Structure 1
Amino acid sequence: MRNPIDPAELDAAIENVHRAGMPGLFAEVRDGDQVWRGAAGVADVATGRPVTADMRHRVGSITKTFTAAAVLQQVESGLIGLDTPIGRYLPRLVPGERGDAITVRMLINHTSGLAEYLPCAYPSLKAFPALADTGPQSLDDNRLTRFHPTELIEMGVTAPAVGAPGGTPGVYSNTNYLLLCELLEQVTGTTAERCITRNVIERAGLRDTEFPTGPDVSGPHSQIYEAWFGMIDPPRDYSVYDMSWVGPAASLISTVADLNRFFRLLLTGEIVSPSSLAQMRRTVPVVSQEGKTIEYGLGLHPVEAPGQDTFWGHGGTVWGAGALAMTRADGKRQMAVAVNQQRWNRLDSSGQPQPHPIDAALASLYRVAMYG
């Protein structure tokens, strides 16, 4: 049963998320020619400036879908082999047996076995050391730190492996996508940011989507607030931040309208070929950064509800900001939601996030937006 957009229902659902404790959020829902845009709450808790649905926003790992699409375009052109070992392209970054065993596909779908370089997952790593003790001090210390991608890749590659190459479930890792960005640079002779901008962002006609050139978000945007599981109280603004700690794996700035346009064009074969899109939809089990096992393809993952259509898309978080974009397989029904606070759940005595009213309110908004 496919339901049309109900603006009043969506207005109420987005307001409920704000009332549950989210400072501000904004969204766009599309169904064919019908479009709803909404916003609730504030973009700045100090001034009370309201959020608006056209604001630019850090969209985190949604960037990975853009990166995957750019890689698959190079596969189509013959410059990259999807099942070619990464060691043939980047032998210095992934040397020896692992370079021979890990393929490009394994990087895109997180089955490489390479560890995450962020130490919130692996305490031996050094990019954000205080996070190993679930403390927020490193977030402040590294606000303006400039990381080089090969430095971060080395942390992930030299850390203990989290699985055998090609083994499942895979483990979600930013190391994989920083390597893909180095691969793009190797085969195109330009930076990954320029390659993705030229071949994906501009090809899709996205006017408000870009990689940051400095620590600021250009254009109208919300402040973004990190709570770090209640340890930063009140939540602190991290809207000014050097995003080199994730680079083209998760640094993109976009709008909810641009996200919907991108995923609509991607899923209707306008960004990559139909055969590449079919590869993107081939999923394997992957353990997410939240510790949940999800089905993950090549930069896409599905959302399925009993008796409902399948949606494809990606979510993303950075310090203070989050976003989720999901599009029905036919490209017609779409949802993109952006929120301006992260890690609102406090931890229990065992270190597990406790339920929060925001969780249920967001789930309800997603359900209404996708299924009516």
Structure 2
Amino acid sequence: MKSALDGVHRAGVPGVYAEVRDAGQAWRGASGVADVGTGRPVTPDMRQRVGSITKTFTAAAIMQQVEQGRIALDAPIGGYLPQLVPGERGRKITVRMLLNNTSGIPDYIPYAFPSLQRVPSGPDVPKSLDDNRFRQFRPAELIELGLAAPPAGEPGATPGVYSNTNWLLLGQLLERVTGTTAEEYITRNVIERAGLRHTEFPAGTRIKGPHSRMYEALWGFIDPPRDYSVYNMSWTGTGAALVSTMEDLNRFYRKLLDGRIVNHASLAEMQRTVPVIALDGTTIVYGLGLHKVTVPDCGTFWGHDGTVWGAGTISLTRADGKRQMSVAVNLQRWNKMDSSGKPQHHPIDDAMKTLQRQAMCGDGD
């Protein structure tokens, strides 16, 4: 495993770290630096902005409310949030469609970060990242941006289209039925129930505890890559704002898939999958806040990946719970674009595939 981590670092990622678990035995390792300026090394216990892995936590919280009868999976969202999703859309889109990304509501991010729409030709593509660094967004204004955009598809149609707007709506739904903020509910009933000691929604723009700088290349538009570890995460909230560690992520998915965060009936619902078109245009197999990843000769894994500016994370657990991997990197969007806007191949892609294969399958352990 250490040689595979070193391979990712050599390919161009400043720092990479991981925890791999096999039948109760844990291996932790790291390669590279947390700060390219000082050479401070990256370590396996560092905290990371884990991006869309947050969605599994939010989905688990929703399923707990389903178990208590406060939310019905196939009820229309307009019945719960009529001001946010009014009219025919509110009647057609169900809670389940938000959870499995088949609502047809598009992602708000290109509208909250409008300079991103100028990929691949605009000279000021990174401008919105800097403009929004300290901006405080309200969930309702981001949701409105998504709902005002051209629909991504018909409600319930497959393949679905991955959209962060769905997950801010689910956060507002949690607030509506629990009477507390979604972040508070998830903290008390998911994070604390799982016994996670280093996982939290950030209270400000900085990460508490040991962490890496987070370098964003934005497909070569930021060269050299810029540190975005200090950032106001209100732009993503219950969709992707969590900070965690690789050890905590493995613990969380181990307990979730063992039926200790939601009951087994809820877990079965979370594992009912549909095809979904991801933000990068690939098709993924998606449940309710869970990816299903099938690896030839290794088995079926469940989990999620996540990216925010400068930070990438993936956490996958084999269906039998015995093999787990959580991997973090401190560089994102390293692939430069060609003239048509298609990301070009990069050696990091191959090194990451090798690392993930070893972590999931035990090749070369």
In structure 2, the partner of 1:92 is: 83
Equivalent position SS for 2:219? coil
CA drift at 1:33: 2.1
Gaps of 5+ in 2: 120-124
CA positional deviation for 1:131: 1.0
**Counterparts of 1:195 and 1:284 in 2: how far apart (Å)?**
28
2:146 counterpart of 1:156: yes
CA distance in 2 between partners of 1:29 and 1:258 (Å): 12
Residue 38 (structure 1) aligned with residue 29 (structure 2): yes
Residues 128-137 or 67-76, more deviating: 128-137
Tell me which residue corresponds to 1:204.
194
Shift of 1:45: 0.2
1:129 aligns with 2:114: yes
Match among 72, 77, 83 for residue 81 of structure 1: 72
User: Which of 220, 226, 232 matches 1:236?
Assistant: 226
What SS does structure 1 have at the residue aligned with 2:325? strand
Residue 265 of structure 1 corresponds to 255
1:322–1:340 CA contact under 8 A, matched in 2: yes
The 1-side partners of 2:242 and 2:56 are apart by: 11
**1:117 aligns to what?**
108
Identify the residue that residue 285 of structure 1 maps to in structure 2: 275
Q: Which residue of 1 aligns with 2:17?
A: 26
Q: Which residue of 2 aligns with 1:220?
A: 210
The alignment partner of 2:312 has SS state of strand
AA at the equivalent of 1:12: S
CA distance in 2, matches of 1:163, 1:212: 33
Which sits farther off after the overlay, 305-314 or 24-33? 305-314
User: How far apart are 1:317 and its partner, in Å?
Assistant: 0.1
Which residue of the partner structure matches residue 342 of structure 1? 332
2:26 pairs with 1:67: no
SS state at 2:28 partner: strand
In the alignment, does 2:31 pair up with 1:49?
no
Query: Equivalents in 1 of 2:136, 2:219: separation in Å?
Result: 26
1:139 corresponds to 2:124 = no
- Counterpart CA distance in 2 for 1:150 and 1:131 is 21
In 2, the alpha carbon distance for the partners of 1:129 and 1:336 equals 32
| Match of residue 122 from structure 1 | none
Is the contact made by 1:84 and 1:104 (CA closer than 8 Å) also made in structure 2?
A: yes
Secondary structure of the structure 1 residue equivalent to 2:18: strand
The alignment status of 1:327 with 2:312, answered yes or no, reads no
Distance 1:308 1:18 in 2: 25
* SS of residue paired to 2:203: coil
How far apart are 1:303 and its partner, in Å? 1.1
Report the AA paired with residue 133 of structure 1: R
**8 Å contact 1:69–1:200 — kept in the other structure?**
yes
Contact 1:115 1:161 survives alignment (8 Å):
yes
Code of the aligned partner of 2:180: T
For 1:160 and 1:133, the matched residues in 2 are separated by 18
Task: Give the distance between the partners of 2:287 and 2:216, measured in 1 at CA.
Answer: 29
**Rounded Cα–Cα distance in structure 2 between residues aligned with 1:324 and 1:243:** 19
User: Over aligned residues, Cα RMSD in angstroms?
Assistant: 0.6
Gaps of 5+ in 1: 1-9, 120-124
TM-score (norm 1): 0.95
Q: Which amino acid in structure 2 is aligned with residue 128 of structure 1?
A: F
Letter in 2 for 1:39: A
Q: What is the alpha-carbon distance in structure 2 between the residues aligned to residue 295 and residue 362 of structure 1?
A: 20
Kept in 2: contact 1:110–1:173 (CA 8 A) = yes
1:305: how far off? 1.9
Contact 1:265/1:331 (8 A) holds in 2? no
Q: Calculate percent identity across the aligned residue pairs.
A: 68
Q: Secondary structure at the match of 2:57?
A: helix
Is the Cα contact below 8 Å between 1:268 and 1:330 reproduced in 2? no
- Cα shift at 1:330: 1.4
- The answer on whether the counterparts of 2:298 and 2:360 sit within 8 Å (CA) in structure 1 is no
Distance 2:348 2:295 in 1: 20
- What is the number of residues matched between the two proteins? 357
Mapped to 2, the partners of 1:341 and 1:185 lie a distance apart of 33
Shift of 1:306: 2.2
In 2, the alpha carbon distance for the partners of 1:260 and 1:144 equals: 31
